[in-house]
A and B are shown apart, each in its own frame.
Chain A
């Protein structure tokens, strides 16, 4: 699926009125089947960019085009239909702690399943082979029936990516897929992602902190800083000077690794129980 952003500005829904927009007048076109890495210092608007592409955030100005349609001009039902064709993988893996890995991975198939089918799959997992193959790509095949809360942070992140592999989406949007992985696993994970996208003919957009990983695995690199596009170049043309400019004030991020994602979900509010 191709993605075209025209003069897109967006702000976080919870942002105060006076705060600067997270994205400012972004123009970006991603062709169908293209693979693209977004790099930039923390707070550059990388996550917001992905959310705008994923119809998870409505741009304040400008237009988004996914495939041939502007999702915000569609009705609610058609918009949800559009969402079925894309997959947004957030940085913190969205897995309920008490769920089993097999269910968590097969949740990637939900858009393709009818309601009764998905209910059936909760009782007895359908298509276990699919989950198994997806997990095997991330060395997790032995964790198929493990519970999510018994996994380490890195394993959870890879389960989240296995869900993406199990899905059938044509637009893959991945936010910081490597933040909890060691370099070897990170390389393996990126290879699986790019191969999956290629085999499926899907568009892949990933935000990455590891600049070197981005340069070595992606053909096209977009540099983002303070909500603005700094450069948009083939990986071979990205020079150290570009990177210096991009990370001008946060040079330590260029060499350091990604900040650790917050895995513990926020403390749930206590529920009052009343009875006489």
Chain B
């Protein structure tokens, strides 16, 4: 046994130089990106941009609470929620079958060794379809649909449906595949059908996670339907766009408060659902 060394500064953390190196390397890589992104935060604080910003922000208080404006906001809020919900419902119609098709745990040919070539190709193809669906931003879909079906909530609903089907399908597939495969495989090996095995083994394991992710996505859909309003898809977003153009901070403030309330509500609903399914 060695006596405990008392020499000061004799020991160095062996991880130290590695950390220093990776921090410096990270900064070296980050710098060109910041230049490319024209990251100049000091512009925010130059007097000529600070004054109009502060004036616009000062307008936020007090928020506009006139009854007829509130009634209008309430109507448009309802429209926004309806748009997000309808979009989510359509997205689910597409996402659930695609997710089930892509889940490797439900493969029959993989029960005895390696998955067959045809099912493997099919699953990969479905994954690519999901990639394509979600790689086109909903804003682009909305601009496309505004040209097809005209201004109004329909284009927003369709845009949300397509992009969210891609996201939901991918994440549902990932959640289902990350749960324990043994209960599902046992049922399949005992002759149960794939959908039966899904209902009796795969779903009960991940129901909580799937629900909370779905509610979270619904919350995201409410937010993106606001963005879609800016391109004419109706709802609270369109109202906000109009107020922004008029530099009417009080109206914008009221609508932002409504958004905060909606997101808070979604968070609470998700909490309740998860408690119920825990």
Which of A's residues lie within 8 Å of B, judged by CB? 13, 54-58, 76, 80-88, 90, 92, 94-99, 103, 107-108, 110-111, 113, 115, 118-119, 122, 167, 169, 265-266, 268-276
Contact = CB atoms under 8 A, between A and B. Distances in A.
Contacts of B208: 98
B182 A13 contact: no
B159 interface: no
A110 B186 contact: no
B269 interface: no
B204 A99 contact: yes
B166 to A, nearest CB: 11
- Which interface residue of A167, A169, A276 has the most chain B CB atoms within 10 A? A276
B200 A115 contact: no
Interface in B65-85: none
A122 B44 CA distance: 58
A56 B196 contact: no
Contacts of B179: 268
Interface string B179-199: 110110111111111011101
Contacts of A110: 187, 190-193, 196-197, 200
Nearest to B179: A268
Nearest to B220: A275
Contact of B192 (A99, A107, A273): A107
A94 B200 contact: no
B183 A96 contact: yes
B182 A265 contact: yes
A55 B185 CA distance: 12
Contacts of B262: none
Contacts of A111: 190-192
Interface stretch (B89-97, B108-116, B245-253): B108-116
B267 interface: no
Nearest to A97: B205
Contacts of B167: 274
B171 interface: yes
A84 B205 CA distance: 23
Interface in B204-233: 204-205, 207-209, 213, 216-217, 220
Contacts of B216: 273, 275
B182 A90 contact: yes
A85 B182 contact: no
Contact of A88 (B114, B190, B200, B213): B190
A24 B98 CA distance: 42
Given A90-B182, A95-B183, A271-B178, 12 more contacts: A58-B113, A76-B108, A86-B191, A88-B186, A92-B182, A94-B183, A96-B201, A98-B204, A107-B200, A110-B193, A268-B178, A272-B174
A73 to B, nearest CB: 13
Nearest to A276: B220
- Residue of B113, B183, B216 with most chain A CB atoms under a 10 A cut-off: B183
A275 to B, nearest CB: 5
Contacts of A54: 189
Interface of B: 108-109, 111-114, 167, 171, 174-175, 178-180, 182-183, 185-193, 195-197, 199-202, 204-205, 207-209, 213, 216-217, 220, 277
Contacts of B188: 83
A192 B40 CA distance: 77
Contacts of A95: 183
B114 A13 contact: yes
A115 B186 contact: no
A83 B204 contact: no
Contacts of A94: 182-183, 185-187, 201
Contact of A90 (B109, B186, B191, B202): B186
Contacts of B174: 271-272
Contacts of B209: 271
Contacts of B180: 96, 265-266, 268
A81 B193 CA distance: 10
A75 to B, nearest CB: 11
B202 to A, nearest CB: 8
A83 B213 contact: no
A224 to B, nearest CB: 21
Contact of A118 (B175, B199, B204, B220): B199
Contacts of B182: 90, 92, 94, 265
A54 B189 CA distance: 8
A210 to B, nearest CB: 23
A90 B189 CA distance: 11
Contacts of B191: 80-86, 110-111, 169
Contacts of A273: 171, 213, 216
